[in-house]
Amino acid sequence: GCESILVFTDSLASARRAVDPSVQSGQFLSLAVVRSLRPWLEASANQVVQVYQVPSKEEWQCHKEAHDFASDLKVSVGTHVLTSLNYLHAQSTKKCLDRWTTLFGGPSFRGNQFLELTDRLDKPMKPKYTGGGAWLSRLQGLPGFTARCCRAILGHAPIGSFNAQFFPHQPTGCPCGAVLETRPHILGYCDRFTDHLKSPISMTDFIKFMKANPRAFAFNSAPSGIG
């Protein structure tokens, strides 16, 4: 009898889902596939299912004919198409992101000193939960560098303006001679640093500035590796 089933597909993810019985939008279809395969697989240890990925752009004739035949069948989606598990997950995620973005627009949520930066499209950066987030994902995971950038963005840095607010007995002037050492002064004017920035500030330019000036927003006597 048959000992091998060969599956050619342009989507390995779909092939995996076809035999994944866990909770998902197409679970009932996956369970049907598993129920059909199980008796055949249990009959012999030599019986296997082999899956091969075939890019659609190659238009392999037999694969294309099978694809065209299968896609010609139009199946009604039914009356409750918007209540699948995937759709509900997507809607829940969208609502959370919309709420997060709305809250982030207010200084009481993000902080009065939060530094507004622009993205690669020159639009204000907004929170996101994928890909490591909007800000941290751009900082390359270096502890000292990330710490300095976070201090600068949050306005919680060892500089004169912070001392003036929380430690008024500490020095508040800039070593360059400016009366008050502020974040705008450091980023745009202080002659101790190079590659000064002008508003609006892009995340890309901000990172370049921080790399070019390793002492910006750093503690004067920081332990090695801390920043």
135-185 pLDDT per residue, tens: 999 998 889 999 999 999 999 999 999 999 999 999 999 999 999 999 999
Which residue's entry shows tokens 């000292």?
144
Could you report the per-residue pLDDT of 9-18, keeping only the tens digit for each? 999 999 999 9
pLDDT for the residue numbered 166: 93
Beta pairing class for 4-9 and 48-53:
parallel
Residue 59 has pLDDT above 80, yes or no: yes
Which residue's entry shows tokens 């101790």?
192
Which is nearest to 210 in space by CA: 194, 199, 226, 198?
194
Residue 226 has pLDDT above 60, yes or no: no
Residue 132: CB atoms within 10 A of its CB come to 12
Could you report the per-residue pLDDT of 185-211, keeping only the tens digit for each? 999 999 999 999 998 999 999 999 999
Percent of the chain with pLDDT over 70: 94
pLDDT for the residue numbered 82: 62
Between 76-85, 87-96, 143-152, the lowest mean confidence (pLDDT) is in 76-85
Q: Are the C-beta atoms of residues 147 and 227 closer than 8 Å to each other?
A: yes
End-to-end CA distance of the chain: 68
Residue 83 has pLDDT above 50, yes or no: yes
